[in-house]
Amino acid sequence: MDITLDIAQGRLRGRSTAGIASFFGIPYAEAPFGALRFAPPTAPPSWEGVRDAVALGATAPKIGYRPPTSDILSEPVVPGVDCLNLNVWTPDAAGAGLPVFVWIHGGAFVNGSNAVPIYDGAAFARDGVVSVTVNYRLGADGFARIDGAPANRGLLDQVAALEWVRDNIASFGGDPAQVTVAGESAGAMSVGTLLSMPRARGLFKRAILQSGAGHHVISEPTALKVSAALAEMLGVSADVAGLGGVPVGAFVDAQRDLGDRITVEAPTGVWGELAFNMMPFEPYIDGDVVPDLPYTRIAAGAGADVDILIGTTSEEFAFFLVPAGVTDYIDLDRVRLVLGAFGVDAEAALVAYSAQLPDASPGEVLIAVMTDWFFRLPAVRLVEARNGSAFVYEFTWRSTLYDGRLGACHALEIPFVFDVLDKPESARITGANPPQKLADEMHRAWVDFVSEGSPGWGQYGETRVVKMFGEQSEIVDDPRAETRELWSTVR
**DSSP letters along 69-99, please?**
HHHHS------SS--SEEEEEES-TT---EE
Q: Which of 184, 410, 413, 443 is catalytic?
A: 410
At position 157, the amino acid (one-letter code) is D
Does the annotation count 273 as an active-site position?
A: no
Q: Which of 30, 163, 316, 425 is catalytic?
A: 316
Number of alpha carbons in the 13 Å side-chain half-sphere of residue 324: 12
Nearest to 315 by CA among 429, 485, 433: 429
> CB of 32 within 8 A of CB of 39?
yes
**DSSP letters along 414-475, please?**
HHHHTT-TTSHHHHHHH-S---HHHHHHHHHHHHHHHHHS--SS--SSSS-EEEEESTT-EE
In three-state secondary structure terms, 482 is helix
Distance CA 161, CA 158 (A): 5
> CB of 310 within 8 A of CB of 390?
yes
Q: Which of 185, 211, 399, 426 is catalytic?
A: 185
Distance CA 354, CA 201 (A): 43
Cβ within 8 Å of residue 398, ≥6 positions away: 314, 315, 404, 406, 407, 408
Does the annotation count 413 as an active-site position?
A: no
**What is the number of other CB atoms lying within 10 angstroms of the CB of residue 120?**
20
Nearest to 380 by CA among 448, 303, 447, 298: 298
Nearest to 284 by CA among 109, 144, 147, 187: 144
Nearest to 195 by CA among 184, 185, 209, 211: 209
Does the annotation count 185 as an active-site position?
A: yes
Active-site amino acid positions: 185, 316, 410
